Amino acid sequence: MKAVIITEPGGPEVLRIQERDLPEPATGEVLIKVMAAGLNRPDVAQRKGNYPAPPGVPADIPGLEVAGVVEALGSGTKIWKTGDKVCALVSGGGYAEYCVVPEGQCLSIPANLSFVEAASLPETFFTVWSNVIDRARLKPGEKFLVHGGSGGIGVSAIQLIKAWGATVYTTAGSDEKCKACEKLGATKAINYKKENFAEVIRGIAGGVDVILDMIGGDYTSDNLSILKPEGRLVLINFMRGDAATIKLSHIMQKRLTVTGSTLRIRDATFKTNIANSLKETVWPWLSSGKVKPVVYQTFPLEKADEAHRLIESSSHIGKIVLIVR
């Protein structure tokens, strides 16, 4: 099969197409004939040598989400049959013509979605559900802030959390991006290059109950300052650094919870439980059009380097997807 290989840590130019042996599904796994693969920020971190694949996963083939057709079944599989159209969260190896994945991490592709649209869903939807609904226990009627509203996590969180019944606020880096976020369902999108998000949130909402943050660094103190009593801050990345100076009194006086997670290293049972929750609650929203994939641009597999340059530019709104076939 053809696969995109990280030949050495570095810039987008280190991505190369190579021939690799076809992977074989182990017990409880399925082999997917990949039609499309989504891009995510962790792919960039892996390419740079900062986010190694977990044991048992191809170390040099990036890609955390795919959509395609079930090609073969490992022993003991019970959910799928060959020919089923699925999208899946994978721990790596997605930038390839074939990929193996535990069967519980697959979800049927809604009939109204293409392979490209379906490939844009798993990584961000699993992440948002696990961190905002399961970990932070956001309730309908509460107020929610997600940073980076125009990115992959952002466009998913805005729609999913609005459908959940909470009020959504977000930040983005241009007026165009802010308008796009509000069109997706954000009550207010704040251009962080023009305004201080904490001041704006205090002025229009008084505070929020849950924040999903991938920025870290100097955002952390402002995040804590705008959380309401019993508020929850969930950290999933630290694009502005993993060190922060904070006031512990904010946490103590308002009884705040600060938590975080990484999804890639969690076991198949954990991810299967998220998939089951998404199937029950979110997949009907996709089928009805209440929640929609947001695909900004596609690239052929052979131009994965160009796709990486685009995601690093942060000029996109939504997801970037590789077309494999």
Tell me the per-residue pLDDT of 162-172, one tens digit each, with 9 for 90 and over.
Answer: 999 999 999 99
What does the DSSP 8-state code read for residue 314?
T
Q: In whole angstroms, what is the distance from residue 43 CA to residue 57 CA?
A: 14
Q: Where in the chain is the domain with CATH 3.40.50.720?
A: 124-260
State the pLDDT at residue 239.
84
State the pLDDT at residue 192.
96
State the pLDDT at residue 241.
85
State in words which class domain 2-121+264-323 has.
Answer: alpha beta
State the pLDDT at residue 182.
98
State the pLDDT at residue 240.
82
Report the CATH number of the 124-260 domain. Answer: 3.40.50.720
State the pLDDT at residue 255.
97
Judging by DSSP bridges, how do beta strands 295-300 and 319-323 pair with one another? Answer: parallel
State the pLDDT at residue 112.
97
3-state secondary structure of 79: coil
Establish how many alpha carbons lie within 13 A of residue 236's alpha carbon, considering only the half-sphere containing its beta carbon.
27
Q: Which residues contact 264 (CB under 8 A, 6 or more apart)?
A: 42, 51, 54, 64, 91, 92
State the pLDDT at residue 37.
98
The pair of three-digit structure tokens given for residue 7, joined into one six-digit string? 């030949």
State the pLDDT at residue 211.
98
3-state secondary structure of 85: strand
3-state secondary structure of 159: helix
3-state secondary structure of 297: strand
Q: Where in the chain is the domain with CATH 3.90.180.10?
A: 2-121+264-323
State the pLDDT at residue 250.
86
Confidence (pTM) = 0.95
Judging by DSSP bridges, how do beta strands 143-146 and 106-108 pair with one another? Answer: unpaired
Q: Residues of the chain whose pLDDT is less than 50?
A: none
